[in-house]
Amino acid sequence: MYKGPLFIASDHAGHKLKKRLVRYVENELKLKIEDMGAHEYDELDDFPDYIIPAAQRAIEQKGRVIVIGGSGNGEAMAANKVKGMRCALAHSVETAELSRMHNNANGISFGAHIITEEHAMAMLKKWLETDFLGGKYQKRIEKIEKFENKQ
C-alpha cells in the first residue's frame, strides 16, 4: 500500500464523492490525505482552481493526487498540464491498476456522475496498492518526460 504524500481535490460536481473518499482513505485505509478543496459546494466554482494546485503539490512532494469532477475528463486534463503529472482517468478497477503498473500514474481522476462511491473506493484502493512494473514501461515514461522537457 502506498504510504507517501496524498492529495485530493474536486470541483462542486465531485464534492460529495471527494468527502466520501477522504473518510475512506483516513478511516478504512488508515492513510493521511490532504484535502485541497473545494471545501464547500459552490456550483459556480471552476475545477482548475483546485486541481492544478493539488497536482502541483503532489509533484513538489513527490506524492500522488486524486482529482474528481462530473466526468473526470477536465480534471485529468488540468492535472496533466502540471509538468511531471501523469493523471489517468479511471472507469474500472482494471484501468486504475494498469495506470499504475504500466504508466506509473501519480494522479487518478474520477467522474462522480459516472461511477458510484463504492466503485470509486475499489478503484482507489487498487490504485494505491499497485506498484509500477518498470522495465519496458519505464522506457515509455522516459520518452514522455523527454518530450515534456522540450516544451
Catalytic residues: 75, 102
End-to-end CA distance of the chain: 34
Sheet of strand 64-69, all strands in order from the earlier edge strand to the far edge? 34-35, 6-10, 64-69, 107-111, 87-89
Residues forming beta bridges with residue 109, ordered by sequence position: 67, 89
DSSP 8-state assignment for residue 130: P
Q: Is 40 left (phi over 0), alpha (psi -120 to 50) or beta?
A: beta
